[in-house]
Structure formats: C-alpha cells, structure tokens
Chain A
Amino acid sequence: KAGVTQTPRYLIKTRGQQVTLSCSPISGHRSVSWYQQTPGQGLQFLFEYFSETQRNKGNFPGRFSGRQFSNSRSEMNVSTLELGDSALYLCASSLGRGQRSYNSPLHFGNGTRLTVT
C-alpha cells in the first residue's frame, strides 16, 4: 500500500503570496489532518477533515484554510504569506473519525518544507 504523499516536497514563496499544498492519503483512509512544525512551536494541529467536512480546527488565523475532496485527497491553502509561516507542513491520514478513530493510528507523509522570503 502506498503511503501518504505530499506535494510539493519543497516550496519557496515571497511574503504576501499564497500557497496551496496537496496531500493524498493512504487508500481507504477517510480522515486527513494537517500540522505545522517549527523549531520553536513544535507540532501544531491545523485542522482535520473527514468525508469532505472540517471536524476540528486548531488555533491558527483564517489565512490558513483547507478542504477535502470526495476521493479523500486534501489541500491546504495559506494566503498572504508571512515570514513566520516558514515551516514543515505535515499531513496525516487515518481510517476514520469519531469513536472509531480513537483506535486508529495516524500515518504521516514526509511533509512540504515551505520557506517564505
């Protein structure tokens, strides 16, 4: 089974631009969650999607948004980029959401490294 695939692997953008990152989950996984990882703040939860619906959201400004498609693939978008948005963005998939998902490990991709200059 193919793992979680994130594209692109590296990205360089300029302040004020916007960016879209893509995540393809493991086949059969319906839940996709996104994380931002920086040296200072560690792994921070952005949001989680299940069956095209956002189920949980972390404490990030509205510039960060996401969506999930009917095939469970997900994208996240960051608008009006700031220098502080430079980070490794990780996507994880799991089988389900709700009580079942508590017993469902996350499978992470290797992330997209975003650099904002």
Chain B
Amino acid sequence: DVKVTQSSRYLVKRTGEKVFLECVQDMDHENMFWYRQDPGLGLRLIYFSYDVKMKEKGDIPEGYSVSREKKERFSLILESASTNQTSMYLCASTGDRVLNQPQHFGDGTRLSIL
C-alpha cells in the first residue's frame, strides 16, 4: 500500500529559527510536492520536484526552499521562520509520466511559529 510519511505531526518553533520538514515516500515516485493548507484558502503549492535534485517553484515559494537528494525524500526548509508561516503542511507524491494518477498525501505537519 502507498505510504507517504511526514516526520512530525506537530511542531513548535521560534521566530527566526531554521525549520526542516521531512517527507518520505515508499512508492518509488518521481514527483513530490509540498503544500500548505490554511482555513478558507485550501491547499497552495509551495514547491515540487520531478526528479532527484530537481525543483520547481509553486504558487507561494517565498520564504521556503526544498531539498531532494534522494528519490524517496523531499525536505521543506523554512530559512528563517516567521509567524505567518504557522500552518498545516502537506507532502504528496505521484508516479512519473502518469500524471493523471492521483497524488498520495501524508498526514501533515501542523507547524506553529511563536
């Protein structure tokens, strides 16, 4: 069965800290995505990656960066956390060249920046 695992369910950090959110998938998928989810705004795409060491900006990349050193792992980095980055973060993955296949989601990381 498909599995996308996010390393933390809940995380509390301080303003200015560098924050790492980790995501691992066990389906050998090429494509991985990071979204943030906020009430009334739905899901907004931050970054995605279609191959190892490849990345593309989504709709709201400002204040974030990503790392994809291995196929199964996609990390989201908040370079200097700010309170407006308090949100639910969702990781997803999907297979290569079959982009009409659904994305599989992790359970999310609820991040609070104090």
Bound together: no
Which of A's residues lie within 8 Å of B, judged by CB? none
Which of B's residues lie within 8 Å of A, judged by CB? none
